[in-house]
A = this chain, B = another copy of it.
Amino acid sequence: MPRRAAVHRLPMSGPSDTSAIEALFAAGALAPRDIVAILGKTEGNGCVNDFTRGYAVQCLRAALSRHVLPGEIDRIPMVMSGGTEGGLSPHWIVLSATEGPGSAIGPALALASDVTRPLCPSEIGRGAQVALVRDAVRTAMARAGIAGPGDVHFVQIKCPLLTSERIAQVAGDVATSDTLKSMGLSRAAAALGVAEALGETGPVPEAAIGTDLSLWSSRASASAGIEVMSCEIVVLGLSAEWSGDLAIAHAVMRDAIDAPALAAILPGAAPAAGAGPGTGGLVAVLAKAEASSGGAIRGSRHTMRDDSDISATRHARGFVGGVLAGLTGLTELFVSGGAEHQGPDGGGPVAIIYRKDIDP
């Protein structure tokens, strides 16, 4: 019996506002038990002391607890990415799947998740994390019935970070004692786990984590958050086992202003900038943003990494958000910061979920 994916992109008025999700429940438009994962773009700083992510998760759990059993909640990845810089708009993306009659006319959007065991603080940003993520991606692919790595178009991961307390727990045996930097190493290790799983790299040596930027995945997107100790993985792709009108495509932005990369996969032929009639078919946009390590974009200096008032990840999200918003006319864009090993240095993967009736 074929499965069918649904994707709801919903506004939130703050990290505690789950009303749009609850309205779907009340209207019968979404069954709580069909939820596979929930992504959220919340309005914190996206860095170490961003409590909007934990707050949002707590509110999601409270909302879901009125509909499903506690054990069921635990198996739903809730990947909150903090930071709605610039005109980005806080929103939820609820991913769900149903089984039903009819035959698959796919390939169509396919999705599934997996959650690793909790990491020890010493494992964050190290080889152990790479291996855990790699195995979880494979598990999720199998669950989703995705035939091979070529059919995977986006892998979203939520991974843990280090805090002063966690560093103390393991007596300083950590990849870095800089808490902000730990977010980058955790994202780096997670992304390399995806790259291994998808065959984009061979086995990655621990020393390459966060340093050898020639190694990267074209489909990984990792966010670090204080509220998790496990890695939560959501795999999205295409599968003949799934039916429905949704599809997914991805591209790699080679730098922060590589709008043509996205333009090439937008639904509708030859979309005019920002006004593509085809963008009406867009359901969700998922992208990574990053300040290039060399301090320049196409040879012109940027100041993101030398700004001690605003972290580079905040700069990059708002700026790349502008690039994507100009092209799509949308501001509910899941742009997440920190793209270590996620696309080339300074660039990053971008994926769109769209309705198939408007072919890409």
Whether B256 lies near A87 (C-beta < 8 A) is yes
Chain B binder among A46-54, A138-146, A192-200, A352-360: A46-54
Given contacts A55-B54, A319-B87, contact A49 B294 (CB under 8 A): no
Chain B residues whose C-beta falls within 8 Å of the C-beta of A297 in the assembled complex: 87, 89, 325, 331
Given contacts A11-B301, A308-B45, A315-B318, contact A325 B323 (CB under 8 A): yes
Interface residues of A (CB under 8 A from B): 11, 13-16, 43-45, 47-52, 54-55, 58-59, 84-91, 163-165, 168, 177-181, 226, 256-260, 263, 270-275, 291, 293-295, 297-298, 300-311, 314-316, 318-327, 329-332
Whether B310 lies near A314 (C-beta < 8 A) is yes
Whether A305 lies near B164 (C-beta < 8 A) is yes
- Chain B nearest CB: distance from A302 CB in Å? 5
Given contacts A308-B45, A332-B300, contact A164 B294 (CB under 8 A): yes
Whether A315 lies near B85 (C-beta < 8 A) is yes
Chain B residues whose C-beta falls within 8 Å of the C-beta of A324 in the assembled complex: 322, 326
Out of B54, B309, B322, name the residue touching A322 (CB < 8 Å). B322
Chain B residues whose C-beta falls within 8 Å of the C-beta of A178 in the assembled complex: 178, 181
Whether A164 lies near B319 (C-beta < 8 A) is no
Residue of B nearest to A328 (CB): B257
Chain B residues whose C-beta falls within 8 Å of the C-beta of A327 in the assembled complex: 259, 273, 326
Out of B50, B295, B320, B329, name the residue touching A168 (CB < 8 Å). B295
In the bound complex, what is the Cα–Cα distance between A87 and B47 (angstroms)?
19
Interface core residue of A163, A178, A274, A322 (most chain B CB under 10 Å): A322
Interface core residue of A89, A260, A306, A311 (most chain B CB under 10 Å): A306
Given contacts A89-B297, A308-B48, contact A329 B84 (CB under 8 A): no
Residue of B nearest to A313 (CB): B308
Chain B residues whose C-beta falls within 8 Å of the C-beta of A316 in the assembled complex: 86-87
In the bound complex, what is the Cα–Cα distance between A291 and B274 (angstroms)?
19
Residue of B nearest to A311 (CB): B308
In the bound complex, what is the Cα–Cα distance between A272 and B308 (angstroms)?
36
Whether B58 lies near A16 (C-beta < 8 A) is yes
Whether B331 lies near A300 (C-beta < 8 A) is yes
Whether A304 lies near B87 (C-beta < 8 A) is yes
Chain B residues whose C-beta falls within 8 Å of the C-beta of A304 in the assembled complex: 86-87
Residue of B nearest to A88 (CB): B302
In the bound complex, what is the Cα–Cα distance between A285 and B79 (angstroms)?
38
Whether A326 lies near B326 (C-beta < 8 A) is yes
In the bound complex, what is the Cα–Cα distance between A235 and B13 (angstroms)?
33
The 9 A-B pairs with the shortest beta carbon distances in the complex, nearest first, are A322-B322, A86-B319, A47-B308, A164-B295, A259-B274, A259-B326, A323-B326, A89-B300, A273-B273
